[in-house]
Amino acid sequence: MKERTRGYIWKTGLIAALLPLAAGSATQDSVPSSGTVARTASMAANLPPALPLPPANSNLDIMRFEAIAEALVANGRIPGLAMAIVKDGRILSARGYGITDTRAPQPVDAHTVFRLASLSKSFAGTMTGILVNDGMLRWDSHLTDYVPSFRMSMPDAAQQITVADILSHRMGLTHNAFDRDLEGNANYHDLTLRMANAPMTCAPGDCYAYQNVAFSLIGDIVFATTGQFYSEAVARRIFKPLGMNDASYGLEGIEASARWARPHVRGRGGWVSLTPKPTYYRVAPAAGVNASISDMAQWLLAHTGHRPEVLPAPLLATLHAPLVTTPSEIRGASWRRSRLTTAGYALGWRAYNYSGHQVVFHGGAVQGYRGAMALLPEQDLGVVILWNSESGLPGGLLPTILDNALGMSGGQWLDDETIDGSEGVLYAERNATPSGTSASASKASPP
């Protein structure tokens, strides 16, 4: 590892958080136009005011978290959601709530597949780490040893980029370089060639700027190292050994799933379901994974150290250790401003100091899908929440769970309407079209 990066590795614990819920992505030009959309058949009972939080060493209030999830989907506030909570090597909850599609509703269950967006980056870091653990790669291996044609605008910059630089967003490019071109259906390979003329803000390894296209160069390195396509390597080394039987890559993967949750955007009168866009699927390491909440429970168990035959403890420690500071992460949602004191990026994961406690985290957002996951090492706890809409309502559930686990009080991270049932978004008529206010640039994760 480069000396200049070592100074960023913090010795103090880091902790949790939820995604700065990025703006929903660009709406499609047309949606189905006949019939009415079914509403959910059941409504969750109104939840009581905030309950006293138990001390950190007591059991988590799983029933309350599940009731909040039920309230989130009641009255069509959001179409569907899935949540998994694991602790001490056990799955405490892994359930679905709400429906998969407002046009043809089916209940979300533990095996309903969601698009993970930038939660996929944790798989890229982990896949690379497995190859490092095998002795096939090094964290300080250079990109041009595997992609010799790669060029950047700064002299000798391409030759300086390491595997760790790619996975921690330290390539020296501007934030989200070429994302808009990707959204315009540009080819991934063409965009990597255009990086030869892209502006740079620093030398590789010296600064942080979140990427999707450049991050996916790690897939080229995996292919050059293993001779397997990136998605095949992940399926063989991660999905299969962990029993992630519903997981897949790409648009074809999600559409081939036995049951999957369609993305939803706001339309005139309610939620409108869409066909997923293929754009960010073209950068598989950054945003290509599809998985069920059952799969993600296994992912949490592995990253909390309970599958050492697949992910040994020393590898996990490396993957979760921050390499560069990301101070912008401590701004945004109220729980971030109140709880986070420092933030950084590791190897496909984020790392936060949450009121003095370590958390490893990643969030994701792409058109009509959002999600967040967090590990709380001191409690041997993992949480993941996935939902199939651009709504920000579920955003406070993850820090609510973290507060409960840590015995912290005083945080009200869920909107009152989430809990008391006073207001909800009704499902749209099938002839509704997405409102103009929904048409913002799509992102595979918050920047």
Mean pLDDT of the chain: 84
Instruction: Tell me the average pLDDT across 406-417.
Output: 80
Q: Is it the case that residue 271 has pLDDT exceeding 90? A: yes
Tokens standing for residue 28:
């499609």
Q: How confident is the model at residue 444 (pLDDT cuts 50, 70, 90)?
A: low
In this model, does residue 9 exceed pLDDT 60? no
pTM for this prediction: 0.83
Tokens (6 digits) for 218: 């790690």
Please state the rounded mean pLDDT for residues 46-54. 33
Which secondary structure element, helix H or strand E, spans residue 263, and what is its range?
Answer: none
Position 269 scores a pLDDT of 84
pLDDT number for residue 364: 97
Residue corresponding to tokens 């046009």? 103
Q: Which of the two residues, 447 and 85, has the higher pLDDT score?
A: 85
CA 386 remoteness from chain centre: 9
- Ranges 8-17, 231-240, 322-331: which has the least confidence: 8-17
H-run or E-run covering 190 = helix 188-194
**Per-residue tokens: 307:** 């599958």
Provide the pLDDT for residue 276: 96
Cα 332 from Cα 392, distance rounded (Å)? 13
**Cα distance between residue 372 and residue 383, in whole Å:** 8
What 3-state class would DSSP assign to 227? coil
Coil vs helix vs strand at 374: strand
Q: What domains are there in the chain, each with its CATH number?
A: 62-412 (3.40.710.10)
Cβ pair 431, 15 in contact under 8 A? no
Query: In whole angstroms, what is the distance from residue 56 CA to residue 185 CA?
Result: 48
Q: Which range has the worst mean pLDDT, 58-62, 205-209, 238-242, 390-394? A: 58-62
Which DSSP symbol is given to 15?
A: -
| Predicted confidence (pLDDT) per residue in 221-235, tens digit | 999 999 999 999 999
Asked if 169 contacts 209 with a C-beta cutoff of 8 angstroms, the reply is yes
pLDDT reading at 155 higher than 90: yes
CB under 8 Å to 164, separation ≥6 — which residues? 1, 2, 5, 139, 140, 170, 323, 347
| CA–CA dist 16, 116 (Å, integer) | 19
Q: Which of 20-29, 58-67, 172-181, 290-299 has the lowest mean pLDDT?
A: 20-29
406 with 57: CB under 8 angstroms? no
Q: Is the pLDDT of residue 71 over 50?
A: yes
DSSP-derived letter for residue 281 is G
Contact 82, 397 (CB under 8 A): no
Q: How confident is the model at residue 244 (pLDDT cuts 50, 70, 90)?
A: very high
296-313 pLDDT per residue, tens: 999 999 999 999 999 999
SS3 115: strand
Confidence of residue 23 (pLDDT cuts 50, 70, 90): very low
User: At 91, which helix (H) or strand (E)?
Assistant: strand 90-98
In sequence order, what are the residues at sequence separation of 6 or more whose Cβ sits closer than 8 angstroms to the Cβ of residue 424?
Answer: 74, 75, 76, 77, 417
Range 286-304 burial, b when 16+ CB lie within 10 A, else e: bbbbbbbbbbbbbbbbbbb
Tokens 């993970």, residue located: 116
Instruction: Please state at what angle helix 313-320 crosses helix 120-133, rounded to 10 degrees.
Output: 130
Mean pLDDT for the stretch of residues 336-362:
97
For residue 258, pLDDT beyond 80: yes
Helix axes 120-133, 217-226, angle to 10 degrees: 30
CA atoms within 13 Å, Cβ hemisphere of 252: 3
Helix 62-73 to helix 397-406 angle (10° resolution) is 170
pLDDT of residue 188: 97
**DSSP H/E element including 325:** strand 324-325
Are the CB atoms for 75 and 426 separated by under 8 Å?
yes
User: 3-class DSSP state for residue 85?
Assistant: strand
Q: Which range among 78-82, 97-101, 428-432 shows the weakest confidence by mean pLDDT?
A: 428-432
Contact present, 376 and 370 (Cβ < 8 Å):
no
Residue 19 has pLDDT above 60, yes or no: no
Q: Please give the average per-residue pLDDT across 236-249, as a whole number.
A: 98
Mean pLDDT of 404-411: 91
Average pLDDT rounded to a whole number, residues 98-109: 97
38 has pLDDT over 70: no
Is 34's pLDDT higher than 70?
Answer: no
Mean pLDDT value of segment 356-378: 97
Task: State the pLDDT at residue 150.
Answer: 97
Mean pLDDT, residues 211-217: 98
CA dist 84 and 370 (Å) reads: 15
